[in-house]
Amino acid sequence: EVSTEDPETAFCTLANREDLNPEESSIHHCLYQFTRNEKLTESNKLLCDVCTQRHYGPKNNIKSENKYVYTNAKKQMLISLAPPVLTLHLKRFQQAGFNLRKVNRHVKFPEVIDLAPFCTAKCKNVAEGDTKVLYSLYGVVEHSGTMRSGHYTAYAKMRSINNHLSDLVLRGQFPQALESEPGKGQWFHISDTYVQAVPASKVLSAQAYLLFYERLL
């Protein structure tokens, strides 16, 4: 969605992202890098319709492709609508010459994450004045093996019903308060027909490929 915003507030977030100081190889660091402010200069300059019309007049007077004005600009990807269910997909491969290589690095992820530093200040489904957008982890997909072969397993959390999540999915209403303690619930490791109860520490040490969070607040 492209919209015209006040330049003073266009790059503002619900919570101060500069206070994060995220640790490398963490989900916070990944999100921080993905939503960082980028400068578009030189060959990446932005085509400016306003500048072009100011310089050459109305569009119908422009007959040559060369008569377009490009300008330096800033670009930032921020969340404008907080989803009921947050799915984070980690890129687990990298180019190595003509081949793809699997990335086995462990990426730290929390049981509860706050998306406010990555949301626009005018996030549509966050109550005015709120500075937190909390999500609780309930599922992890892990891959073992190489780029050519391997095995997928999952961790799933059995927890109490989140009525706020139903309101968000069915009616788009944002929650007013936490439904229950986000840390409560039993984790299970699932591999084909094998299911075993595991502690949260086991889950948080997984080499995550997919992360599933549900909105709490």
Whether residue 94 has pLDDT greater than 70: yes
Give the largest CA-CA distance in the chain: 70
Q: Which residue would you say has higher pLDDT here, 1 or 117?
A: 117
Question: Cβ neighbours of residue 34 under 8 Å, at least 6 residues apart?
Answer: 77
Q: What are residue 170's phi and psi, to 5 degrees?
A: -85, -35
Q: Quick one: tokens of 145?
A: 């093996």
Whether residue 40 has pLDDT greater than 90: no
User: Could you tell me the domains of the chain?
Assistant: 79-215 (3.90.70.10)
pTM as predicted: 0.80
Dump pLDDT digits (tens) for 174-190: 555 555 555 578 999 99
Whether residue 198 has pLDDT greater than 90: yes
Does residue 107 sit in helix, strand or coil?
A: coil
Dump pLDDT digits (tens) for 103-158: 888 999 999 999 999 999 888 888 888 889 999 999 999 988 887 788 999 999 99
